[in-house]
Amino acid sequence: GSRASGRDSRARRADMALLCRVAAGSLRVSRSQRLVAAAVRASSAGAQYQHILVEKKGERGNVGFIQLNRKKALNALCDELMREVSLALDEFENDPEVGAIVLTGSEKAFAAGADIKEMVDKTFQECYAGNFLTHWNHVTTGKKPVIAAVNGYALGGGCELAMMCDIIYAGEKAQFGQPEILLGTIPGAGGTQRLTKAVGKSLAMEMVLTGDRISAQEAKASGLVSKVFPTSEVVDEAIKCGEKIASNSKLIVAMAKEAVNGAFELTLAEGNRLEKRLFHSTFSTNDRKEGMNAFVEKRKANFTDQ
């Protein structure tokens, strides 16, 4: 009996040792699997963007920065590039540290247009069934303000992309245009609509029907851009603007952006009603209370985005 119980205890110990070895092995496997997964994630994060550069800028890292990076193609807006821009915008939209986003290209070209090589063989059926270019509108759907810093060419889709942003800063050598008419087509990502609302019917009609470009100075005079800077300064100035915006309450900034955008969609009466509702809504926020108390107490407001 005692020999049997000894054998049992030895067997149990052997089983336990085996289980420990298996557990240790599985831990090693799971650890190596985790390391592999982490490496894959890291490489895919790096490989996630082939056509754009993405980082955070500003002294507090609170300005998202997206740079179009197809320099050889003058930043032609291929489908994949625009999908990457949408992904990067979503990334910053979900980052609580980021209060504004800057979108730029190179000194030679913000974006010289959509990628014509991708379009040349498309049929009406493909364009209509696939709702061609509709996903570009994603740039306009975020709550956080997007500032375009435009140097060089902003033509066709490049001009349309700049106009989808909330603020446009231009370098002094920037050129804006909608030359689609010269290719036997018309703007397809808001060019006929946003340009007309920005610069008025006569200039928009002239640009769309002739394909002629306007300079940065003409763009500022017509209301298309808000400021013009030397080429080497425009990106830094856009980041400074982003930092100013990001220093305010992100919650209230989103409401202000919604109200201004309402002016493009609504009648004056409806727009004023939207503004009043949003204005009244600010009184339910901690940041409105903090902002007004700070003003009365002559101190700097400490916004918490609540």
Residue pair 156/136 in contact by the 8 Å Cβ criterion:
no
Out of 64, 112, 170, 180, the active site residue is 180
Residue 23 appears among annotated catalytic residues: no
Tens place of pLDDT per residue across the chain (306 aa): 555 555 555 655 655 554 445 444 444 444 445 444 444 343 344 458 999 999 999 999 999 999 999 988 899 898 899 999 999 999 999 999 999 999 999 999 999 988 888 888 889 998 888 888 888 888 999 999 999 999 999 999 999 999 999 999 999 999 999 999 999 999 999 999 999 999 999 999 999 999 999 999 999 999 999 999 999 999 999 999 999 999 999 999 999 999 999 999 999 999 999 999 999 999 999 999 999 999 999 999 999 999
Q: Write down the catalytic residue from 114, 148, 162, 198.
A: 114
Residue with tokens 């901690």: 286
Consecutive H or E run containing 169: strand 167-171
99 given a catalytic annotation: no
For 93-150, give the DSSP string: HT-TT--EEEEE--SSEEE--B-HHHHTT--HHHHHHTTTTGGGGGGGS-SS-EEEEE
Whether 63 and 54 have beta carbons less than 8 Å apart is answered as no
Q: At what angle do helices 286-296 and 250-265 cross, to 10 degrees?
A: 110
Q: For residue range 217-247, list pLDDT tens digits in order.
A: 999 999 999 999 999 999 999 999 999 999 9
Q: Which of 157, 158, 188, 242 is catalytic?
A: 157
Q: Check if 160 is active-site.
A: yes
Catalytic residue among 100, 111, 160, 237: 160
- Whether 195 and 208 have beta carbons less than 8 Å apart is answered as yes
Report the distance separating Cα 163 and Cα 75, nearest Å.
16
For 274-290, how does the pLDDT look when each residue is reduced to its tens digit (9 = 90+)?
999 999 999 999 999 99
Residue 290 annotated to the active site: no
Three-class SS state of 191: helix
